Homo-oligomer: A and B are copies of this chain.
Amino acid sequence: MKVLAEQPISENANQELARFAKALGHPTRLQILQLLDSQACCFTGDLVEVIPAAQSTISQHLRELKNAGLIQGEINPPRVKYCINQENWRKAKLLFTAFFEE
């Protein structure tokens, strides 16, 4: 009898690490993460004031970071507050650390 879950629950570690790395592969996204992590800015508008790019561009970068699982947003009308996704942040840190220490 065949066992379920022939494809693992968590994707291949390399794929996951690549996904995180790709999300980190743009200076603006690094800056966003730094700002969020420092708690200096959490609302989109704050980021728009600090980062030299159009509001729509920053929103796009936020979406990519969200798709990669590195951040999460909570609605706080009429604003949206973004925060680091601590669980995945930790996971990314572990993956990068393991990668560089292998």
Chain A positions near chain B (C-beta within 8 angstroms): 12, 14-15, 17-19, 21-27, 29-31, 33-34, 37-38, 89, 92-93, 96-97, 99-100, 102
CB distance from A24 to the nearest CB of B (A): 4
CB distance from A43 to the nearest CB of B (A): 20
Known: A14-B34, A93-B100. 4 other contacts (CB 8 A): A14-B31, A21-B22, A22-B24, A33-B99
Oligomer: number of copies:
2
Are B24's CB and A18's CB within 8 A? yes
Are B27's CB and A18's CB within 8 A? yes
In the bound assembly, the distance between CA atoms of A97 and B17 in angstroms comes to 15
CB nearest to A13 among chain B residues: B30
